[in-house]
Amino acid sequence: MEWLSAENTVAVATAVLGIIASGLMLWVERRVPRRKRIGYRVQMDNPIGDDARSGRLNRRLGLFEETPGMTDATLVLLRVENDGSQSIDRDDYTGPEVHGLTAVFADRTIAGVSVTQPADTDHLMDHFTAARGFGYEGNTLHIPRVPLNHGQNFKLLVLLTGGEVGRAIRLTGGLRDGEVHPNRSATPDDTPPLFGRAARAITVLLTVCVVVLAGLVVAQDDTPSPIGCEGGTLTLTGSTAFEPVLEEVADKYERDCAREEARIEVETRGSTSGVRDLAEAGAHAKNGSPPLVALSDGPKPGGLSALRENRVAVSVFALVVNDGVRLPADNLSTADVRRLYNGQITNWAEVGGPDLQVRLVSRDAFSGTRQVFQRRVLGRGEIANSSLDCRRKDDPAISFVRCELDSTGQVLRTVADLPGAIGYSELNLAGRADGVRRLSLDGEPPSVDAIERGTNSYPYREIEYAYTYGRPPADSLASSFLTYLTRGNGQDVVRTHGHVPCWTPAGLKLCADAG
């Protein structure tokens, strides 16, 4: 997924701005322009009379039962608090009366009032005097001009008679540069809501919108390619040894770029054959580079200057023998390999193995694996073919058995089935094949890890090249796929198949040195 795409950047930026806007809304509501706020809330409104009107009878003792007027009495706890951002002084109350606030209890009559406050605000009690307007009449309670610092509060426990529980209770009064407003609270100890109702609704809506927007944009394609995807059709040809890599990378590219409807076909017939097919297709193409990429185990043949190379990976190959051929340390010297492949050694007993006839199972002349073997190990071409079925010599006068097959898979299957057989294969495919044993050369095992660390001079290895006819357009599927294969997610597939990608730190050096 391309997390830093323009679309995703816009989505994330929008989400961040939405969060900032929510915080700014809170700041504006609480500090600009109403910096001074007195909030009030009813924390308790309970019947203490017989509650006969509600259909329930209370059980009362003592004063609750004996005091006159208690039959329909109720008890209200009213909390008054400074929930603004600034302190409130006596002079901030703007009413013409001596008192600062007025509480009205609809349909009920005040019978008594008790003032309570937190332990650290005992000084507030000095303001609750008749001289400063503290008193009640009928259903109206006069509250003095009490100075309150930010967060301070006091509570009024009011004894009422007449009326019903839940009737309206309203607190009014003027406040310079501010307001008196009701707060809502379910329990006596709850803090007032941080947002007003409108602010909460807008904030929730805004947050939901920006989160949904970000989610839609980021998740609209949950498997986007880390490189630019292109649509169209493309054919991959060439090396049969590299075919498993091509199949998996092509499938992964199609899934990652599903929206572009890319279609990639893998048709491998050998490195040389693939390179020549590319050259012929390019020569007859009417619109530049054809939609064809050829993979080759090693460099292209001479005389094909129109083909442009892309180094993909370092591939390691191995000599394999039938499981019945047990050699000392599963090792052959390069000199013995050369003697085997020029027909001088025809029985495994001559190199410390079992008494079995040697059968050489080779690839056809178009194979890149064969060309690497000849170039890196033999130092010359292989001897002529002497058998069609790999079992018997076609000419009794010839001392050796040698056959040629079309693919790496055929070689591995034949070596596994044929006693005394020896062949060669891409290392990872050889490691997964049953019935064959891989051989070391001159005591050096075929090890990708050792080669990558630089602790192994094993010779049977080569660069895997990807060839195009000229330079394909930057917006073509061929160009996009090659970038994906060599520098994108395809590198992980290349490595899991036992190759060293050329664009890794170790691969850069290996690919440069091998060239």
- pLDDT tens by residue, 100-117: 999 999 999 999 999 987
Question: Using an 8 Å Cβ cutoff, are 240 and 424 in contact?
Answer: no
Question: Using an 8 Å Cβ cutoff, are 509 and 440 in contact?
Answer: no
Res 217: pLDDT: 57
CA distances from 59 to 44, 46, 47, 74, 165 (A): 20, 14, 12, 15, 18
- List for the chain the helix, strand, coil content (%; round to 5): 35, 25, 40
Question: Using an 8 Å Cβ cutoff, are 492 and 339 in contact?
Answer: no
Residues 233-257 have pLDDT tens digits of 999 999 988 999 999 999 999 999 9
- 3-class secondary structure for 121-148? HHHHHHHCCHHHCCEEECCEEEECCCCE
CA dihedral (501, 504, 505, 508) in degrees, to 10, reads 50
For 163, phi then psi, to 5°, come to 70, -175
CA dihedral (297, 302, 308, 310) in degrees, to 10, reads 30
In the block, residue with structure tokens 């004063």: 63
Closest listed residue to residue 437, CA positions, set 338, 346, 348? 348
The letter for the amino acid at 250 is: A
CA 28 from chain centre, in angstroms, equals 37
User: What's the mean pLDDT in 436-442?
Assistant: 96
More confident residue, 512 or 339: 339
- Whether the predicted pLDDT of 222 surpasses 50: no
Res 224: pLDDT: 44
CA 116 from chain centre, in angstroms, equals 57
Question: Using an 8 Å Cβ cutoff, are 310 and 422 in contact?
Answer: no
- Whether the predicted pLDDT of 221 surpasses 50: no
Res 225: pLDDT: 44
- Tell me the β-bridge partners of 309: 467
- Whether the predicted pLDDT of 119 surpasses 80: no
Assign 166 a pLDDT band (cuts: 50, 70, 90).
confident
The reply to whether the predicted model has a pTM over 0.85 is no
- Per DSSP, the three-state class of 421 is strand
Residue 177's contacts (CB-CB under 8 Å, 6 or more residues apart) are 33, 34, 35, 36, 92
More confident residue, 457 or 121: 457
Res 226: pLDDT: 47
Region of poorest pLDDT, from 88-92, 218-222, 409-413: 218-222
Tokens of 224: 């986007």
Assign 123 a pLDDT band (cuts: 50, 70, 90).
confident
Res 186: pLDDT: 47
- Return d(Cα 375, Cα 413) in angstroms, integer: 24
ω before 188 within 30° of 0 (cis)?
no
CA 460 from chain centre, in angstroms, equals 39
Q: What does pLDDT average to over the chain? A: 86
The letter for the amino acid at 420 is: G
In the block, residue with structure tokens 């005389």: 303
Assign 124 a pLDDT band (cuts: 50, 70, 90).
confident
Residues in the chain: 515
Region of poorest pLDDT, from 221-230, 245-254, 383-392, 495-504: 221-230
Res 10: pLDDT: 62
Region of poorest pLDDT, from 64-68, 90-94, 332-336: 64-68
If 0-12 CB within 10 Å is exposed, 13-18 middle and 19+ buried, where does residue 490 land? Answer: buried
Helix (H) or strand (E) holding 497: none
- Return d(Cα 385, Cα 380) in angstroms, integer: 15
User: What's the mean pLDDT in 447-470?
Assistant: 91
- Whether the predicted pLDDT of 142 surpasses 50: yes
- Return d(Cα 76, Cα 426) in angstroms, integer: 89
End-to-end CA distance of the chain: 34
- Return d(Cα 444, Cα 217) in angstroms, integer: 53
- Return d(Cα 475, Cα 224) in angstroms, integer: 17
Question: Using an 8 Å Cβ cutoff, are 468 and 289 in contact?
Answer: yes
- Whether the predicted pLDDT of 480 surpasses 50: yes
User: What's the mean pLDDT in 115-137?
Assistant: 88
- Whether the predicted pLDDT of 513 surpasses 80: no
Assign 200 a pLDDT band (cuts: 50, 70, 90).
low
- Whether the predicted pLDDT of 1 surpasses 60: no
Res 364: pLDDT: 92
Percent over 90 (pLDDT), the chain: 58
The letter for the amino acid at 508 is: L
- Return d(Cα 448, Cα 205) in angstroms, integer: 57
- Return d(Cα 235, Cα 232) in angstroms, integer: 11
Closest listed residue to residue 70, CA positions, set 114, 111, 104, 107? 111
More confident residue, 139 or 456: 139
CA 372 from chain centre, in angstroms, equals 41
Residues 323-346 have pLDDT tens digits of 999 999 999 999 999 999 999 999
- Tell me the β-bridge partners of 294: 237, 467
Percent over 70 (pLDDT), the chain: 83
Res 151: pLDDT: 86
In the block, residue with structure tokens 């199609």: 254
Assign 20 a pLDDT band (cuts: 50, 70, 90).
confident
Closest listed residue to residue 220, CA positions, set 470, 454, 1? 1
> How big is the chain by its Cα radius of gyration, in Å?
45
Region of poorest pLDDT, from 13-17, 447-451, 510-514: 13-17
